[in-house]
Structure 1
Amino acid sequence: MSTLVAPPEATAAITTELELNVDARTATLLGVPIRFTRREFDLLLFLTEHAGICFTRLQLLRSVWGHEFSGERTVDVHVRRVRVKLAGFGPTIATVHGFGYRLDDTDRVRITHVR
């Protein structure tokens, strides 16, 4: 008896829910275009590129915003907005209580550089 196994590229197509195109600065969620503001896109891209690593709010301000003058709650607001737009699909931005944020479920997001 043989078992059907999907090729790796087919499996990736099934599990990838969010695609970020860096060059075009576009995002699609389950094939539907989704609009992120500049900072939301930058935040999601940064967390995706450093998936599994936990960052403090201050580290995110420095890395994504390029400064630390906005206040740490700015990060909370942007994370909340990204979560709302993802609506439970795509990768999960996990809150690490008392520390900061981390991107989980990296198999659900893909970064492309297609022009």
Structure 2
Amino acid sequence: MKRVMTFLLSILFFACSLYPEYNQEITKYFEGIKFEKISIENVNGSINVKSWGKPEIYVFVKKTSRSKAILEKTEVIFDDSGKELRIKVKKRDFWRIFGGSIANVEIIVNTPSPKNLDLSTVN
């Protein structure tokens, strides 16, 4: 029984490793004192904001998906016009309204001082 269970588990782990995982990383820097507010909308993933001692805003985004097509259709939009830095994740696909997949998106932001934050994530 122990051998059968070990064999079945090894087949399961092997089958899971057959599916590739696609990643894309985006790194951006913005002038920190320019913005009074940071607004982030994420659809499938986490948002992590930290304070640091540099005069700039550092943004790191990592998109992950099992499908290259889904990864490419998941878009991260940066809008740094005005006094607000906006980061928004959306899928470039009309049919997303009716469901469908979107890549997992992890957003990390380091900001020089506490800002007015508007953070939104839906999973």
More strand per residue: 1 or 2? 2
Q: Which has the higher helix share?
A: 1
Q: Which has more radius of gyration? A: 2
State the TM-score, normalizing by the size of structure 1: 0.30
